[in-house]
Structure 1
Amino acid sequence: MYSQRIKIWPDEKVLLAKIARGREDAFAIIYNRFRKKIYTFSLQMLKSEEQAEEVMQETFLKLWQLQDDVERINNLEVYLRTLTRNKCLNVIRRLKLEVSADREMKWSWDEAHNETEEHILLRDTTNVLKAGIALLPQQQRQVYQLCREEGLKYEEVAERLNLSPLTVQTHMKMALRFLRNHLSKHTDLVILTIIFRLF
C-alpha cells in the first residue's frame, strides 16, 4: 500500500490565503518556487520552448484567477502538476487538429491557384488583424506588440512598461481573446485558419 505522503510546505495555506486576498508578493513566492518545475515538465511533454513558456504562464494565470477558490487547494504541487499536464494535453490535441486541417487543405486546395490571388488574400487577412490590434486599449496593444511583434517575454515586457509580470499576462490574454473574436467576425473559416498562424 502506498503510504508516502507528498510533502506540503507549512506555509502553503498561508500563501494561498494571501493570494486569495490579491497579495502579489505571496503569488511571487509561489511563482518562483514552481516556475522551473512547470516549465521543465511542459518542455518534456511539448518539445517546444515557446509552448512550454506559454503553458507555464497560463498555469500561473489560472492560479491567480481562482480568487477565493484558491484556498480550497489541498496540495498546491499536485494541483499545479495536474493543471500543467491538462494544459499540455490541450496543446497537443490542438496541434493534432491543426495538422489534420493542414492535410485537408492540401487535398482540397486548387494547385493551379494564382500567386497574385494568394498575395491579395494574405494582405487582406493581415489588414483585418491590424485593424483589430488598432481597436485594442492602449496597454493591451502595447503588450501584444511587444510580445508578438518584437518577441519579448512577459518579464521583459513587464520591465519595459513598468508593470508586474502578472499584469502583462492578463493584458496579453485579454488582447488575444479580443483579436480572436474580432477575426472570427470578419473572416471566413479558410481565412481564419491562415490568419491564426500569424499569432
Structure 2
Amino acid sequence: MDQAKLVKRLISGDKIVVNELYEKYSAKLYHFAFGYLKSEPDALDIVQEVFVNLWENRKKLNKDSNLNAYLFTIAKNTIISVFRKKLSEKQYLEDLKNKVVVNAIDTESRVNYDLLTEKITHLVDQLPPQRKKVYVLSKEKGFSNQAVADELGISVKTVEDHITKARKFLKDNLSEYGLFALLFIELFVS
C-alpha cells in the first residue's frame, strides 16, 4: 500500500494500520536497538516507544509524510534518550566510557535523510543490471526471495547472493556518513 494511503489511515485513527506498520518494522527496529543497547528489555522498549509515539503524534503528520523517515527519526531519538538516561547510571557509564557511540549518534543525526535516500538511489543505479533488478524487486517492491527468483528466472541462492553483494556495496559506499547511514541501512535497506 502506498505511503499516502497509510498516512491518511493513520491520521484518521485507523488502529489496523499501526499493526501493519508494526509487523513491517518491529523486527528491524528491535535488532537495531539491541545492537546498540545490548539489552533485550531496552530494545523492546524502543520498539514500543516508536509505535506509541507514532500513534500519539499521528494527527501532526502531513498527508505526504514519509513514514520510513518518521519511524527512523523516532527510533534514533529514542535510542539517544536511552543512552543519555543510562549515562547517568554509574554502572552503565562504566560500560560505555570507552565508546563514542552517543557522540557519534548526536553528530550523525545532522545528516539529512533526503541526502541518504538520494545517495542510495544513485548507488543502486551503479549496481550491475541483474543485481539492480534483484535489489529493486526485493527491497523497493517488497518481493520475497522466491518471488524475485520466479520473476527473473534465477535461483533463490542467486537472489540471496545479489542482495548480500548489493548491501555490502551500499554499506561500503555509505561509510563516509557514519553511524547514521548504518542505522538507515539496517532499518530500511536490510
Shorter-chain TM-score bucket reads: 0.3 to 0.5
Q: Tell me the TM-score normalised to structure 2 length.
A: 0.45
Question: Quick check: which has more Rg, 1 or 2?
Answer: 1
